[in-house]
Amino acid sequence: MTTDPAKAALLMKLIEGIEIDSADGRAGVRAILREIEAAAPGSIEMMAANLEMRRLGITPTAH
């Protein structure tokens, strides 16, 4: 999976503005995750796995 740095930065700015303490904010997060998964199936699980590996001190490798 490749990451476009400009798209990643834009997504981070978008996410920073979401208020996750509200029902609307949580719905927005779910909608964003659905769109990401639709555009790149499996990408959410891959990112979660990479984050978990980093937490465990393992460097994820790109395939």
Query: Is the CA virtual torsion 17, 14, 10, 33 positive or negative?
Result: positive
What pLDDT, on the 0 to 100 scale, is given for residue 26? 92
**6 inside domain:** no
Expressed as residue numbers, the domain containing 32 is: 11-55
Residue range 1-59, pLDDT digits in tens: 456 778 778 888 888 888 889 999 999 989 988 988 998 899 889 888 988 999 999 98
**24 inside domain:** yes
Number of domains into which the chain is organized: 1
**18 inside domain:** yes
Separation CA 45–CA 60 (nearest Å): 13
**44 inside domain:** yes
pTM: 0.61
